[in-house]
Structure 1
Amino acid sequence: MRAMRRIRQYVKVFTRMRRNRADLFGWWLRRPQVGFGTATYELMLILSNRLEPRLKELAELKVAGMVECEYCLDIGSALANSAGLTERQITELPRFRTSDAYTDLEKLVLAYTEAVTATPAVGVPELREQLLTQLSKAQLAELAAAIAWENQRARINIALGVRPTGMAEGMACALPERRANQT
């Protein structure tokens, strides 16, 4: 049931594309094997239902902000909205540690997401142990796979120049998280 709801949400979000539709799909059509593999992994993550989808969407949106993938922020914000994240949760991602918009578990998921996404990854074992007090190993595996996959998605979209399509227009939208060493 949860998987079907997520599939409907994805379809609904993709129908909101307003521009730049060919950016992503054009690249995958040039390499159908990669496109097929990508679609298969995407579907398997959607069908994985041990972890609350809101937590996956929150983690994926955090990655998109850290990596600064505008396409991922666009689709991620739309999916986060449809998964029930509040406008404050979406817009306060860069300040999650000091925000009261998140539960303790959500803050822990976001800290873990930051640690796994950072290069090099720092503090992951401690955060993993903390998460295992609130999540099962299956849930943690699903979270780690979602974080790693969003890193892959975001980086390939940036590498190929995939631009936002307007899926989150009219909704709360997360912004790129500028790093301290950027000007």
Structure 2
Amino acid sequence: MGILKRIWVYVRVMRKARRHRGDLLGWLVRRPQLLLAQGGYETSLLLMGRMPAELKTLAVAKTAMIVNCEYCLDIGAEIARTEGIAEEKLVALLEPDGNPVLTDDEQLVVAFAAAVSASPAVVPDELRARLDARFSRAQLAELAAEVAWENQRARLNQALGVRPAGFSDGAFCLIPEAAPQG
């Protein structure tokens, strides 16, 4: 997916917000440095195009499921739909390992997202070797930045009480993963 198309996807999705449009902005305008930093990083991620957008979107969606950010789950499902990702793939994120709905590459990036989003974040050597064999260093840097940023974004949203904006109203929405029992 080209960069301009990805930007257009985000514009279309943001227009679908039905409520709580200004939750995060209402907090960040109080600290303009944070607003600029957040906006700058979001823009840089949006403009990167080495890793296929669909793979990044699935990895980010899995991350949102793990860290349980309601806003991220809401917008993530709508971004995926707008990018043309089949709903079956979103459902497959609940149990991605060996799921025939997901391609090998999709399973790989989702496994990476799960590893990076765990606490502590540990990427097993075997997974890292499979990623290195399949993707370039530039692609992996981009994927890691996307997943790490989604973790930051989700935790910031949760800390500030950012609520779902209704992007996915009336459609399938991602659901959080159950907390690990320990």
- Fold shared per TM-score above 0.5: yes
- After superposition, residues 20-99 of structure 1 pair within 5 angstroms as 20-99=20-99
Percent same amino acid among aligned pairs?
47
- The match for 1:17 is 17
* Contact preservation (8 Å) 2:87, 2:172: yes
Instruction: Quote how far apart the aligned CAs of 1:62 are.
Output: 0.4
Kindly indicate whether residue 121 of structure 2 is the aligned counterpart of residue 121 of structure 1.
yes
2:112 aligned counterpart, secondary structure: helix
What is the CA-CA distance between 1:126 and the residue it aligns to? Answer: 2.5
SS of 1:25's partner is helix
Query: 1:130: which partner in 2?
Result: 130
Secondary structure at 2:96 match in 1: helix
TM-score by length of 2: 0.95
The answer to whether the aligner puts 1:156 opposite 2:161 as a matched pair is no
Q: Distance in 2 between matches of 1:98 and 1:116?
A: 19
Letter in 2 for 1:51: M
Query: Aligned pairs, how many?
Result: 182
Secondary structure at the aligned position of 1:62 is classed as helix
The residue aligned with 2:179 is 179
TM-superposed deviation, 1:45:
0.4
Q: Is the 8 A contact 1:2 1:49 kept in 2?
A: yes
For the aligned residue pairs, the C-alpha RMSD in angstroms reads 1.4
Cα offset, 1:8, TM superposition: 0.7
Amino acid at match of 1:78: E
Give ranges in structure 1 of 5+ residues lacking alignment: none
Regions of 4+ moved over 3 Å: none
